[in-house]
Amino acid sequence: MRIWCAAAQAAESHLVAIESAFMKGFSGIQLVGQATDVCKNGLERAKAVLESCQMTIPARHIILNLAPAEGKKDGSQFDLAFAVSLALLISETPSKVDTEKWLFVGELSLEGYLRPVQGAAAFAIASLGTHIHGVVVAPENAIEVQTIFANQPHKPTVLAFFHFTDVLLWLLEGHSPKPSACLPTHIPPIRKERPTFDDMHLTACMQQVALVTATGRHNLLLWGAPGTGKSMFSARISSILPPLSNPELWESLRTYSLLTTHLSEERIQGQAPFRNPHHQASAPAILGSCERPGELALAHGGVLFLDELPEFRRDILEGLREPLETGWVHVSRAQHKMAWRARVTLVAACNNCPCGWHGSKRKRCSCPMVKIQAYRRRLSGPILERIDLHLNMEETPVASPDLFIPSSRTDQTKRLAAQVQKAIEFGRNRNRSLGILYNCELQSEQILEASGHTAASFPSLISNSFAPSSSPRSLVRAFRVARTLADLEAEEKISNLHIEQALAWQAEAAARERGDHMMGLGSNL
């Protein structure tokens, strides 16, 4: 007899068959198949639940095998499957349900109540494309599992039971599940409303940068003195991002479910994540480990905000290079290797110097030039090259009346979000044919097709827009941003004006605008 459960090893999840049988030998239950202590403890909970349900386990030798035997089986999600397997083995009444087609995932209390488990969304994803036709879970896990199954052509059934006796009535006596058993009863806590641009005064340039960042998912670095709105602006970028696409939502639910038994409402509804780790966070906390996702993986499909970017450890900054380029975090250890999906929009903020006031009109900088140079050198050229947009934040005059008139910014966020959605829809068919989701993913061999120009007119566009000394990577980055600018204007062809604006946002142009070359400060590129 086989009962199906599932196990997860970081980002990887797979089905596990629990095979049960009577054997000759001393009485007792033997569990084989590399079960961890947490998993073994679940067997004891299952035995206690069966006794509370007046089901006596005979004094015989019983073996439970977890297949496949390779790989550790960890987690409390095996409790329900253990109890079902033992109940069907010792029951004189055969099951009226084909248990081979059901996945049983849930923790049990000693009184027999089903409790939620971590990884429910990951287990649901593992069951797709298999023989599994339905999943039995605790009510608190039903919402995330139903979200995974929502757009499937053959939608599996999700049953949520409160108590193990209800499961037995369904299996052994053929009782139809109560209507409430098919519906989630857990109401996620009310989430705190995210900040939006409705409470912030945006210049025309800042509005354009927000639109370009959200539409093309381009990485953004904000430079400026304290109080110029770098953190405030960055925290509001995610408010104009569209909901996650189905592949992004699946990855997000899978990753977050590995860390909690209760997914928040904004996660289930597919709102783009926003993560802002502190600059003293460790490398595993940002990049992840073989066992747990880091902030990069948790921000998949959304925004990763790194405030005070030069204050992050050098190994963390250099560790961002590959994920920003490929959208994956590869973690390698002696015994294990793991890859986390991490397609994020990096939004970072940086002062001009350690004290923050270099180039400010309000206060005088107290940093010697040596310290300013050392501060800038913390950001290497390869990191700066992976950031498409570099914006110098202007100091707003204190007496500006626009700062104190919120009525002038009513529905500002709604308007910006609508423009972003319209631009994404404009370029969706083109990007789908190129095999990408957003313009930030354009590769050099795709630039010609994405530009809207012919092979005959494309060389003149390059010669009129780029200096002969421009590097190929600079050209590709400029074309990515220019493509997004054209999408926002619903233009099929990239123009010289689009490329000119894209070049004005690159690191070299931003450094010249700050006057770094006059002060002997390079852009590290």
- pTM, two decimal places: 0.89
CATH homologous superfamily for the domain 197-399 = P-loop containing nucleotide triphosphate hydrolases (3.40.50.300)
The predicted pLDDT at position 359 comes to 83
- φ, ψ for residue 391, nearest 5 deg: -125, 130
What separation in angstroms does the CA of 63 have from each of 16, 43, 69, 78? 16, 12, 14, 15
The predicted pLDDT at position 190 comes to 42
Q: Which residues of the chain have pLDDT under 50?
A: 180, 185-190, 407
Whether the CB-CB separation of 5 and 104 falls below 8 Å is answered with yes
The predicted pLDDT at position 187 comes to 44
DSSP reduced 3-state for 102:
strand
What separation in angstroms does the CA of 403 have from each of 209, 378, 516? 19, 34, 30
Return the residue matching tokens 């310290």: 371
- CATH number for domain 2-182, candidates 3.30.230.10, 3.30.930.10, 2.130.10.10, 3.20.180.10: 3.30.230.10
Q: Where are the beta strands (DSSP E) in 316-472?
A: 328-332, 337-341, 345-350, 389-392
Q: What is d(CA 95, CA 87) in angstroms, rounded to the nearest whole number?
A: 10
The predicted pLDDT at position 395 comes to 81
What separation in angstroms does the CA of 330 have from each of 10, 282, 320? 12, 16, 11
Q: Where are the domains of the chain?
A: 2-182, 197-399, 418-507
DSSP string, 385-397: HT--EEEEPPPPP
The predicted pLDDT at position 459 comes to 87
The predicted pLDDT at position 394 comes to 86
The predicted pLDDT at position 520 comes to 58
The predicted pLDDT at position 479 comes to 93
State the Cα angle at 424 between 238 and 457, rounded to 5°.
130
Q: What is d(CA 525, CA 95) in angstroms, rounded to the nearest whole number?
A: 69
